[in-house]
Structure 1
Amino acid sequence: MKFTIRVRLTALFAALFVVLAAVLVATSYAFVARNTGPEARGVERAAALQEALTDLGVDFPAREFPERPLSGPGPQNDPLADAVHDIELQARAQVLRDFLTTSLIAFAISAVFAVGLAYWLAGRVLRPIDEVTVAANSLSESTLDRRLHNEGPDDEFGRLKTSLNAMLDRLERAFESRQRFASDASHELRTPLAVMQASADNTLATPRAPSQARELAEEVLRQVARSDSLMSSLLTLSRADDVIHTRESADLADIVATAVSDLEPMATDAGVRLELDVEDAPVLGDRVLLERLAVNLVDNAIRYNAGTDGWVTCRVWSDGNHSIVEIANSGEAVRESEVDVLFERFRRGAQRSEVAGHGLGLPIVSRVAEVHGGTVEAVPRESGGLIVTVRLPRMTAAGPDPSSAT
């Protein structure tokens, strides 16, 4: 069984108190025992006894009582000394018993209070650690610009906060560098792609171009289109990973309806029927990312479908604290073991390798939902196809409901 640091500090403080209190009780008991023995201050006690007897009218000649041991016989033929000695021993024993009993009771009561005091003191000592823990747990890649408050003294906890703030500075710079690299690389790659596309278009526009050149130009256009789609996906992932992307109010119903309308020609060419059922589903987020989420969901549902007589249903609604998008489609059966693979970047299911794509559709959906505090769930249908459900925090008049974030 593992105990918390607070419990261990409490035990340490309480044990220290018990040791010190036990030493104090033992020392006090030894001091009292030493100063109440027959050999201690014998002359003073004899004088006090003589004065007490004189006050009572007893004629008692001045004398010194011989010292007697704590136990055993004393001097012979001295009954008064024996009586005084017995009285002293009884009084001393009673005093010591009372002193020890009172000390032990006070010791026990103090020990109980010491445990509570030690627990409270340990909490006070560890409070800065709790503050650091709460602040650290509230940080994420979208809130790396926050810092821990460090207005206290320059002690161990102050230096800890300073170190954590310095680490956050380095993390923020690293994230920004990564985002800039991904964005710059994607933009720079578009320039040679545009040149290749222009060259292929010129070749196809030439009336007397050799058939081999035309076939090569068509292949170049197909690869350029695929590369351009890949660049767009990488830019979307870069934007989703960006810690400073904008947030605004949006309605998932409008976004999904627009995506369905834009992809209607693609569905018609593929022989897939689109069905739309939407209700208001307000959210707070990056509209560009949310639009890409909707397009990827519908595009994937059309691409990986049964073909002729295939169908895709798109539903949008609000339920409690969530705004929900559900995309279901017909198609080939998907094994449960393949579902997690579909959300990995550049990974595709075994039954999807024949369809054109680059394996970033559902990973982008998952990432966009994650940066918006939502979740994505994919469930295979028994008759084939998938049901993909996205849940995002529903926006209320006061903003997104924090209780809906997972």
Structure 2
Amino acid sequence: MLIRNKLLLRFTLLVVGIQLALSAFIYYFSAFSREQRYYHRLEAKAVLAARLLIRRANLDTAVLHSFRRADLLTMHQEYIGIYNEGNQLLYGLGKPLRPVPDSVYLNQIRGPRPAHFQLGGREGVGVLYQHQGRNYRVLLVGQDVFGAREFAKLRLLLLVGNLGALVLIIMAGWYFTDQALRPIARVVRQVKRITASNLSRRVAEGNRRDEIAQLAITFNEMLSGLEQAFESQKSFLSHASHELRTPLTNLLGTLETSLAYDHDLAEARQSTASAMEEIRRLIALTNGLLALAKADDTAFRCEPVRLDECMTQALTMCKTKYPTRTIRLAFDDLPDEVEDPFMVMGNAHLLTTVVFNLLDNACKYSTGTVSSTLGYANATTVRLTIADAGSGMSAAELAHIFEPLYRGNNGRQVPGHGLGLPITRKIVQRHGGQLTLASVPGEGTTATVQLPGVG
């Protein structure tokens, strides 16, 4: 079901429910009020009849017979009955109570409070009246014709009013639902015009305060991320095709040259060595792309890892690769709150790869001493800093340094494919950390890794 129809249905049911509850309250309150008014009227007349017939006339038969119906009969279908203590009828005027015996009602008249009865279409009261030490029971029954007519008019008014209000409620609900969903419909129309070829378009954000505006802002932020991802993908494909095409072209050229011009074993061996070197470049590039893809995997086993041990392993690997390079390791002061230093949650192999990649970059682009420092940014964050004194990078180069296969001006003469930093950053992010680079041309580059600590 459409949200428009759901809102309309719920709005209609809610308002109709409130309206019916109010109508029911009015109906039953009016019925109760009419009944109480009529019973009060019957009680007053019953007491008046008792005073007139028992106290004044003293139930004298000659006097009672002198009363005409018009003298006491003022209610529709009225009946007045006076009974003694033995429930014998002493005086009766009007339509009798048959077929129900009078004793059925007289036995309910016991205390000083009047008794109320429902007799088919009539209503009645019974009053206990004392005179000269004797108890008399007075029954007064009548039919509230005028009250019933007014009540019928009220029922008709409520029925017509509720039906008319239902129509108005549906119309009002449709109008307000349309007004409420109109901004969403506008957003939907704008979104439908956005395709992969024009991700630069954005949705109107309205007043930037209500829920619809927040939805539009969130969608625009998502579009910005998608646009950036598409641009990164295009750049990655462009660089990957270039990086793959160069060794493949060189390999093909070497093999064609060898086939055409190599006539002795020495020349063939030299061409084969060149081809093998290009194949090694292809393998290294392929392994780098595979590692970059695996860096997005969040299903690796996560356990407590000592980052200083990962640092030691990475230093050993780096010294093996760069035996003449000086790499210094220092430790900052530990916070007092830390019980188990340099403990983080993650994968030891991946974290060792992070440290090695950063050390390898520092050694690759710098001929001086490489400094590494392990410490804490605060009581819950482990911080690793690796600094070199190389040529550094400009701000424009830093803006693209984490793009796969991107290489700065200072790295075009150094072997590599521009995959180390993107892989390193993704691994750090998968561990809930952050990798930042700061560089000054001519002074060097500093890489900082911050990871959530344990304990």
TM (norm. structure 2) is 0.44
- The answer to which structure has the higher strand fraction is 2
Q: Who wins on radius of gyration, i.e. which is larger? A: 2
TM (norm. structure 1) is 0.49
